[in-house]
Structure 1
Amino acid sequence: MRPPIDSGTVLITGASSGIGRELARQLARRARTLVLVARREERLEALRDELLERNPTLGVVVERCDLAQPDEVDSLLDSLHRHLVRVDVLVNNAGLGDYGLYEQESWARIHQMVQVNVTAPLLLTHRLLRRMVERKRGGILNIGSCWARAFLPGLAVYNGTKHFLDGFTESLRLELMGTGVVVTQVAPGPVDTEFNEVAGTQTLAGRAPSWLRISAAQCAREALEGFDRARPLVHPGLAYRWLVRMSSLMPRGVLRAAGLPAARQLRHGTSLLDPAHPDTGQRVLLAGGPEGV
């Protein structure tokens, strides 16, 4: 069973940069219509023009939406309904992260991360899934994180939201067996995005060795290949896949111990993202890049 990408309508959140933008570029050759969702409308319009130049028969719908605001997500879905846009495949790609000690985070920032990483995918899936089940065809592609089954000090909230997405996706997949709806989760490791250039800082992906990092284009390509095969979980990148397999054999206590040096560095004011920058409240957007929300 394959998700109805070909000649279907695909909605992508966080489509303005990073993995989301690469997914849009690769899906443009197959889909009938793409619904591009993000906060930065000018970036979406530039992407729309690029896609239409290469694929003149493609339909592209640009929807500016702050996924941290459930009212805006509702408005987005209502707009699609009014314009008779039927979504065949939902790609929950947008992700927001923050690096720093939990007690030093503002509650507004924590709430924003939970809204983007948890509430928005839940709401979009809930509103769109019933029609997919009724039609007996559909697809849900959730872009998670390598931290969905691991943990790292400084990313407590981000880790927690990705653990939630992992459990949600796995359980939802079981519920939808035999309905015609394909559910796949992608858990990328270090992916090169434009965050380094935009922020001028060293991200977790940037500190990973070059043999472990992959491009956003490769991540998108392997994600879609796994989705087409209805695989439950995709780890893009050969080296990263082997690392995941090896780490899955480690007892939880070993993983805890491995995180202690990072915790001590963070507590004493040294950022792992940028050793020269002692600001433990440093902001970093993960997965979708700085424009990926």
Structure 2
Amino acid sequence: MEQQRNTILITGASSGLGEGMAREFAKQGKNLCLCARRIDRLQQLQTELQQSYPAIKVGIKVLDVNQHDDVFRVFDEFKQEFGQIDRFIINAGMGKGAALGTGYFQANKATAETNFVAALAQCEAAMTILRDQQQGHLVTISSMSAFRGMPRAMTVYAATKAGLASLTEGIRADLMKSYGSNSPIKVSTIYPGYIRSEINEKVKNTPFMVDTETGCRLLAAAINKEPVKAYVPRWPWALMAFLMKRLPLKWVLKLT
């Protein structure tokens, strides 16, 4: 049974999956707290959504998730403005990088800091509010690449997404220790497959790639079910997850 989550906060909401999920939840009549670095993109999205869905409230704030104090401040400001935040979607991230040892440490470091350390800050800030409310839903956007080590530009990205998935499960484990199996705070890890977005717009001829609108519709539907984990789209990625965790690495690389 789907829970009524009326106010949803999404980080990285100015483009890609964050922007697409905002549109999907707006269609469902949800109030939105949207944050990202690019205020111009957020303003355009806010205008679009409020014109299309005048019954909802859309708040926007500039946020660079690598400025950790700002993460706590912005989340708290949204809480004060909206009264309650029912769902946090930790989505902000980046995918730049290169094979280790090829001179791109700064790019790999930036990906590690944004996708894991900044995600930690977002989870910490979200959980502070959720614990205070004693209810709500924490969602982290991981990746199918989290299941195994990946080559070249994907090496650090995959490692951060694996770390994020482990972090999310640890939060759920901690809540189970506190509340048992019926915790009022739900926690979900979402593993997107190949969904077209700005982070992969230069990648061509990728099998199983779906367009942004389709992918985000499926993401929103999966999130609303509040699963422990979900593979999106389910086909073929649920099967791929099973195989990736079990096959020899050289075969996994052929699958991906």
Same fold (TM over 0.5): yes
Compared CA separation, residues 160 and 3, structure 1 to 2 (3 A): farther
1:107 shift after superposition = 4.2
Q: 1:258–1:129: structure 2 CA closer, same or farther, 3 Å change rule? A: closer
Residue number in structure 2 paired with 1:185: 189
Q: Which secondary structure state, in structure 2, belongs to the residue aligned with residue 67 of structure 1?
A: coil
3-state SS, counterpart of residue 227 of structure 2: coil
**Gap change, CA 1:249 and 1:111, over 3 Å in 2:** closer
Q: What is the alpha-carbon root mean square deviation over aligned residues?
A: 2.5
| Cα pair distance change 1:13/1:44, threshold 3 Å | same
The alpha-carbon distance between structure 1 residues 74 and 175, as it changes in their structure 2 partners (threshold 3 A), is: closer
Query: What residue in structure 2 maps to residue 228 of structure 1?
Result: 224
- Aligned-residue offset at 1:68: 2.1
Q: 1:51 to 1:115 in 2, by over 3 A?
A: same
Task: Note if contact 1:69-1:115 (Cα within 8 Å) is conserved in structure 2.
Answer: no
Higher fraction of helix: 2
Gaps of 5+ in 1: 262-293
What letter is aligned with 2:147? R
Is 2:243 the counterpart of 1:246?
Answer: yes
The CA deviation at 1:127 is: 2.0
Say if 1:2 and 1:227, in contact at 8 Å, map to a contact too: no
Q: Give the stretch that moved more between structures: 125-134 or 35-44.
A: 125-134
TM alignment of 1:94-243, pairs within 5 A? 94-154=92-152, 155-177=154-176, 178-194=182-198, 202-203=202-203, 206-209=204-207, 212-237=208-233, 238-243=235-240
Q: Is the 1:187–1:233 Cα contact (8 Å) retained in structure 2? A: yes
Unaligned runs of 5+ in 2: 177-181
Query: Quick check: 2:141–2:189 contact (8 Å CA) kept in 1?
Result: yes
* Partner in structure 1 of residue 42 of structure 2: 44
Aligned pair count reads 248
Cα distance change of structure 1 residues 191 and 125 upon mapping to structure 2, 3 Å threshold: same
Contact 1:132 1:138 in 2 (8 A): yes
- Between Structure 1 and Structure 2, whose CA radius of gyration is higher? 1
Distance 1:11 1:121, change over 3 A: same
SS across alignment from 2:140: strand
Q: SS of the counterpart of 1:192?
A: coil
Equivalents in 2 of 1:234, 1:147: separation in Å? Answer: 14
Question: Could you tell me how far apart the structure 1 residues matched to 2:226 and 2:144 are?
Answer: 19
CA separation in 1, counterparts of 2:237 and 2:35? 29
User: In the aligned structure 1, how far is the partner of 2:68 from the partner of 2:103?
Assistant: 22
How far apart, CA to CA, are the structure 1 residues paired with 2:103 and 2:137? 35
Q: Which shifted more, 154-163 or 63-72?
A: 63-72
Distance 1:82 1:193 in 2: 32
